[in-house]
Amino acid sequence: MQDVPARSHDWNVSTDEAKRIQRRLASEVAETALPNDVETVAGVDVSVRDDRAQAAVSVLRMPEMSVTDEAVHRCEVPFPYVPGLLSFREMPAVLPALQQLDTAPDVFVTDSHGVAHPRRFGLACHLGVLCDVPAIGVAKSILVGAPQGELGAQKGHRVPLVDDGETVGTVLRTRTDVNPVYVSVGHQCTLDAAADLMLDCSPRYKIPEPTRQAHKLSRTDE
């Protein structure tokens, strides 16, 4: 993915400096329209074992959800586990994995939050802003905020996720009678478009297929 620009900064920083970086970069998150015809969606996931991170990227083609490209990168973890600072732990492994891709996907999806984050800058935002690409966060649990309204049991039902009076995400039912996922903007997308795309990417399972495939790949042995 050599044609996609990537900015960077120091990752081995104090927690206070990490929060300052998040606040500074959060102002660059753009909520703009997704490309008209999304053909490829890349799922991103990272597993950490014994202070080593294994980042995996799985690129799937729409609408059949077939894997067209994938990459793995392993490295030492430069940052401790701190709630709200996941990207400083995982992005140093993700960025080199992205460089291994043969083509640039249309949209990236992370197994984490975007703006549904205390400083409105989760891992999906960090990826999107640094690489200047459309990115969406899809998490399995809430980091900040609360659902507004009653979520229906049927696939496709959604309600806003609101924090301190601000809509930061969507609570989305991707499978009937199964716990929802929490979708939020990462970069260069709108919340409605992000939720619609994730529903299209979830034909069989609760977890969207791009991140489901990346999750499996991130746990393969060397």
State residue 5's pLDDT score.
59
Whole-model pTM?
0.95
CB contact at 8 A, 203 and 65: yes
In this predicted model, what pLDDT tens digit does every residue of 96-148 receive, in sequence order? 999 999 989 999 999 999 999 999 999 999 999 999 999 999 999 999 999 99
In this predicted model, what pLDDT tens digit does every residue of 138-195 receive, in sequence order? 999 999 999 999 999 999 999 999 999 999 999 999 999 999 999 999 999 999 999 9
More confident residue, 11 or 181: 181
For the residues 64-75, what does the mean pLDDT come to? 96
State residue 78's pLDDT score.
80
CB contact at 8 A, 198 and 210: no
In this predicted model, what pLDDT tens digit does every residue of 16-63 receive, in sequence order? 999 999 999 999 999 999 988 999 999 999 999 888 999 999 999 999
Cis bond before residue 63 (omega within 30° of 0) = yes
Sheet holding 135-139, edge to edge: 66-76, 52-61, 40-49, 107-110, 135-139, 181-187, 166-172, 158-163, 146-147
